[in-house]
């Protein structure tokens, strides 16, 4: 398994469009790079829904280990607990089992060579976050937030947790989920000096997720991510 850059994409507040942003960035990056998505939202995985993945994964044996073979859509490799759950059933797991499933998804997926693995994090700052930040070698973290006080307040808690694990915060993406107007304030976190990777205005093709469309905002954000990584 060769993965050059593992990027966790998170948001403490649910409903800010993190999964759609992760998927959109992956679509753009996949045009020039080998990309994978690990859907670590153990409670409500969405990536298989966004990409209309209905097939179940197959398994292969490697060195006596049973490994999940990622499903490939739009030139992106996918691994998700959503492949294993029945569509209308929720994943109801307590801490130790939840952590075990996330680690198993990562370490027991037969990833091909990847330039980028994007981890679609669940909302909150609970066991799932602790597992990913502690047990997976994350290279960078990206925050998705909307410009309202609840999202900003919860996002600051996420940043505090990420920094405790000494993981590089690449920056934040402002997702304007209900407007077409970008905020004039390029640092919505005030005193926290977090790099602004760009803003994404409301777009119906992102909202309803058209896998054949990548907006200009997403292209700009994705290119900013690449240039920021290259400066590290």
Nearest-CA neighbor of 158 among 132, 129, 131? 129
Domain positions in the chain: 3-231
Query: Going by C-beta distance under 8 Å and a sequence separation of 6 or more, which residues neighbour residue 94?
Result: none
Task: Say yes or no to pLDDT of 76 above 80.
Answer: yes
Using 50, 70 and 90 to split pLDDT, how confident is the model at 45?
confident
Give the pLDDT score at 184. 55
Confidence at residue 26, expressed as pLDDT on a 0 to 100 scale: 98
Identify the CA nearest to 119 among candidates 167, 189, 56. 167
Among the four given CATH numbers 3.20.20.140, 3.60.70.12, 3.40.50.300, 1.10.760.10, the one describing domain 3-231: 3.40.50.300
Question: CB–CB of 24/218 below 8 Å?
Answer: yes
CA-based Rg of the chain, rounded to a whole angstrom? Answer: 17
**Residue 171 · residue 196 · CB < 8 Å:** yes
Evaluate if residue 212 carries a pLDDT over 90.
yes
Q: What's the pLDDT tens digit per position in 7-35?
A: 999 987 677 889 999 999 999 999 999 99
The H-or-E segment that residue 168 falls in is strand 168-175
Measure the CA–CA gap between 71 and 53, rounded to whole angstroms. 8
What is the structure's pLDDT at 192?
A: 61
| Tokens describing residue 215 | 């907006």
Reported as a single tens digit per residue, the pLDDT across 146-173 is 887 777 777 888 888 888 899 999 999 9
Phi/psi for 221 (5° steps) reads -65, -45
Judging by DSSP bridges, how do beta strands 76-80 and 71-73 pair with one another? antiparallel
Q: DSSP for 61-104?
A: EETTEEEEEPEEETTEEEEEGGGTS-TT------HHHHHHHHHH
What would the mean pLDDT of 164-186 be, rounded to a whole number? 78
Q: Are strands 58-62 and 65-69 parallel, antiparallel or unpaired?
A: antiparallel
| Percent with pLDDT over 90 in the chain | 47
Q: What is the side-by-side order of every strand in the sheet holding 71-73? A: 71-73, 76-80, 35-39, 114-120, 3-10, 140-145, 168-175, 196-200
């Amino acid at each position: 398994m060769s993965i050059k850059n593992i990027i966790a994409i998170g948001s403490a507040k649910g409903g800010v469009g993190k999964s759609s942003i992760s998927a959109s960035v992956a679509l753009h990056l996949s045009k020039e790079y080998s990309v994978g998505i690990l859907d670590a939202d153990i409670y409500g995985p969405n990536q298989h829904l966004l990409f209309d993945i209905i097939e179940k994964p197959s398994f292969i044996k490697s060195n006596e280990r049973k490994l999940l073979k990622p499903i490939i859509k739009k030139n992106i490799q996918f691994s998700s607990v959503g492949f294993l759950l029945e569509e209308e059933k929720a994943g109801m797991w307590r801490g130790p089992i939840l952590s075990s499933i996330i680690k198993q998804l990562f370490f027991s997926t037969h990833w091909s060579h990847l330039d980028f693995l994007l981890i679609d994090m669940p909302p909150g700052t609970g066991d799932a976050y602790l597992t990913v930040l502690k047990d997976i070698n994350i290279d960078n973290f990206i925050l998705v937030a909307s410009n309202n006080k609840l999202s900003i307040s919860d996002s600051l808690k996420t940043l505090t947790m990420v920094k405790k694990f000494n993981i590089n915060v690449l920056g934040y993406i402002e997702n304007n989920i209900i407007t077409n107007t970008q905020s004039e304030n390029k640092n919505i976190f005030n005193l926290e000096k977090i790099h602004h990777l760009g803003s994404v205005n409301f777009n119906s093709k992102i909202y309803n997720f058209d896998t054949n469309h990548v907006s200009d905002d997403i292209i700009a954000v994705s290119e900013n991510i690449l240039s920021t990584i290259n400066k590290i």
